[in-house]
Every structure is written in C-alpha cells, then in structure tokens.
C-alpha cells in the first residue's frame, strides 16, 4: 500500500500535436493513453496497476473531426461515437461506421467514448471494428520520435486486447475510401438487449451495385465479436461478386457467414448459437442495403435440431 502510494504518476494533457509527441517521448510500457476512458477507467482502478504516465488526449481538440479529403474520408481518433453517429459527411460516405457508433453503449458512453479508443483497446466486441474493416480503413499513428505511420487496421489489431501499437505510439486518424452513390452499406448487431450491450455478433457490409443490370460489382463483409478480431470474409465477397442482387445472393451471404464463423470459433460453446443467429443477422444486413425486396431465410432450414 505504502509502496503504491509512494509511486508517483505523471500526467500529460497535451493540447497540440507537438506536445503529444513530447509526451509520447516519455512513454514506457507502463504508460497508458486515455481518450474517452469508457474502457480504460475501470482498469486504471486495479490496485498496483497504476501507470507511470497517463497521457490524456482530451485536450487535443484538433483530433476530433470527420472530413472528406478528395476521395478519402478522414476521421480523427478522438471523435466521439455521438459525433460519428450524426456526422453528415460520415452518413453520406461511410454510413456503416455511423450506424455502428449509434449502437454503442448508451448516450452517456457515446458522448465520451472515441473511435480511436475503441480500436486501441482492441476488444473483440468493439462495434466500430467490423465497420472499419468493411470500409477498408487505414490507421495513422504518431510516435514519441514524431514519426507518422499509416497501416491497415488488420495490422494494428492483432488479437483480443492486443495491438501492434508501440508504447509510445498513439492513433491519430482513420482513413478510408469515401463511398459514392453506387455503393450501399449497412451495419447490424445482436446483443443481449438493445442498449448498453456487449455485442454477440456484428456485421457490416459495403456493396457496389450496378442499378441498371442489378449486378453486385464488389462486396466487402466485416464480421465482429466472432473471433479474436473483426475480420473480412473473402470467400463470401468472391461468391457475391458478379451476382445478381436478389434472394439467392442473400442466401449466399448467410451461408458464407455461417461457414466463416465455424472456422473462426470452432471450439467455442457459443458456436451453434452464433451460427444460428448469423443467418438472421446476415439477412437483416442484406435487407438493410435495400438492393432488392426484403427476403427471409427459407423456413426451418436454419433451426437447431429439437432435443427430444
């Protein structure tokens, strides 16, 4: 106790990017970076686990933005979920991320929690992750030497609560190709209740669609909360490319998601539930794209066998 009390904890609240670099330059493996804190604050209270240096990004107003930069959408790391949910640029050019933000926690959490924190925390259930994965997002970071680096999201989030971020490296921006008028996107989530719920399964889809021919030109599918990290499903994406956007495509999507989940969590006791739920979720996500009249899975074909 005395030892813990004696340990001094430094705090840095940078207000400029230069200050942030200076603060990161002092970071060690015991340093924690706090953005909204909705995940971190609980772990900061574990006795004996206090950081040597706490860097708060809350003073960096310049890291909170969504903007269109040519054909790229740029999202500042400390943009809150409430801001993402309502941002007109994001709703037009990256709707699935705005929808994912709107499903997170409660108003109290969305007002504070940030997209950068959601990814840096690397929870397998992070709601923004499948949306960012489907959007093909890159992550830009800055480190204690002042270096800026950009890499795909899949190279940042490596496993549950495990990232490739160095201890002196902070996420500053997400970027992805802006969705245009020929693209549709949707995000759906299953949790145990409608609010303040940890995701059991999330699905984000981005689809490019030729309205004249009714053909799907490119489909990207991101699944979350069914494995160590959110992931794309290339098998489904390939199966759907060149397909007519109809009930058959919805069935291909559902079957592909079920198979991908089987590969991702083969030994989990929740596998039968998640595969069963994935069928409904895939259809919901497909229908939300609005590419064809709403369709539903064939009756009974996805029901688990009755136990006598």
Q: Is 71 in the site for other proteins (CB under 8 A)?
A: no
Question: Taking contact as CB under 8 A, which single stretch among the options 54-62, 150-158, 165-173, 220-228 is the one that binds other proteins?
Answer: 54-62
Q: Is 54 in the site for other proteins (CB under 8 A)?
A: yes
* Residue 56 vs 270, nearer CB to other proteins: 56
* Residue 36 vs 130, nearer CB to other proteins: 36
Question: Taking contact as CB under 8 A, which single stretch among the options 49-57, 150-158, 254-262, 264-272 is the one that binds other proteins?
Answer: 49-57
Q: Is 16 in the site for other proteins (CB under 8 A)?
A: no
* Residue 193 vs 300, nearer CB to other proteins: 193
**Which position has the token pair 């604050």?**
41
> Which one of 17, 19, 22, 50 is in contact with other proteins (CB under 8 A)?
50
Q: Is 42 in the site for other proteins (CB under 8 A)?
A: yes
How big is the site for other proteins, counted in residues (CB under 8 A)?
25
Q: Is 34 in the site for other proteins (CB under 8 A)?
A: yes
> Which one of 109, 158, 247, 271 is in contact with other proteins (CB under 8 A)?
109
> Which one of 1, 45, 70, 306 is in contact with other proteins (CB under 8 A)?
45
Question: Taking contact as CB under 8 A, which single stretch among the options 107-115, 212-220, 248-256, 294-302 is the one that binds other proteins?
Answer: 107-115
Q: Is 105 in the site for other proteins (CB under 8 A)?
A: yes
Question: Taking contact as CB under 8 A, which single stretch among the options 44-52, 149-157, 173-181, 265-273 is the one that binds other proteins?
Answer: 44-52
Measured CA to CA, the distance from residue 263 to residue 14 in angstroms comes to 44
Measured CA to CA, the distance from residue 51 to residue 11 in angstroms comes to 10
> Which one of 22, 44, 158, 239 is in contact with other proteins (CB under 8 A)?
44
Question: Taking contact as CB under 8 A, which single stretch among the options 68-76, 99-107, 125-133, 227-235 is the one that binds other proteins?
Answer: 99-107
The residues pairing with 12 across neighbouring beta strands, listed in sequence order, are: 55
> Which one of 145, 195, 211, 296 is in contact with other proteins (CB under 8 A)?
195
Q: Is 177 in the site for other proteins (CB under 8 A)?
A: no
Identify the CA nearest to 56 among candidates 75, 39, 78: 78
> Which one of 9, 71, 145, 296 is in contact with other proteins (CB under 8 A)?
9
Taking the complex as a whole, the smallest distance from the CB of residue 28 to other proteins amounts, in Å, to 16
Identify the CA nearest to 220 among candidates 229, 231, 211, 212: 231
Do residues 207 and 185 make contact, with C-beta atoms less than 8 angstroms apart? Answer: yes
Identify the CA nearest to 120 among candidates 187, 55, 189, 209: 55
Q: Which residues bind other proteins (CB under 8 A)?
A: 9, 11, 13, 34, 37-38, 41-42, 44-45, 50, 54, 56, 58, 82, 105-109, 111-112, 194-196
């Amino acid at each position: 106790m005395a030892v813990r009390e004696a340990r001094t904890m430094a705090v840095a609240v940078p207000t400029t990017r230069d200050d942030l670099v200076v603060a990161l330059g002092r970071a060690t493996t015991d340093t924690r970076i706090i953005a909204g804190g909705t995940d971190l604050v609980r772990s900061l209270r574990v006795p004996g686990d206090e950081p040597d240096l706490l860097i708060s990004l809350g003073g960096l107003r310049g890291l909170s933005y969504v903007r269109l930069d040519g054909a790229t959408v740029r999202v500042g790391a400390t943009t809150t979920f409430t801001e993402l949910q309502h941002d007109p640029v994001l709703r037009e050019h990256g709707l699935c991320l705005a929808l994912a933000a709107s499903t997170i926690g409660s108003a109290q959490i969305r007002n504070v929690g940030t997209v950068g924190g959601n990814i840096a925390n690397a929870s397998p259930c992070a709601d923004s992750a499948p949306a960012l994965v489907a959007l093909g997002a890159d992550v830009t970071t800055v480190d204690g030497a002042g270096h800026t680096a950009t890499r795909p999201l899949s190279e940042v989030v490596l496993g549950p609560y495990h990232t490739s971020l160095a201890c002196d490296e902070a996420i500053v921006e997400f970027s992805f190709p802006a969705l245009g008028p020929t693209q549709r996107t949707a995000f759906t989530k299953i949790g145990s209740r409608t609010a303040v719920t940890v995701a059991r399964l999330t699905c984000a889809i981005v689809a490019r669609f030729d309205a004249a021919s009714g053909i799907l030109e490119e489909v990207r599918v991101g699944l979350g909360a069914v494995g160590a990290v959110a992931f794309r499903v290339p098998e489904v994406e390939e199966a759907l490319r060149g397909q007519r956007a109809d009930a058959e495509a919805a069935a291909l999507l559902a079957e592909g998601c079920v198979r991908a989940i089987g590969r991702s969590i083969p030994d989990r006791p929740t596998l039968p539930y998640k595969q069963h739920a994935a069928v409904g979720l895939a259809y919901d996500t497909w229908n939300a794209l609005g590419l064809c009249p709403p369709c539903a899975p064939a009756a009974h074909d996805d029901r688990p066998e009755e136990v006598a």
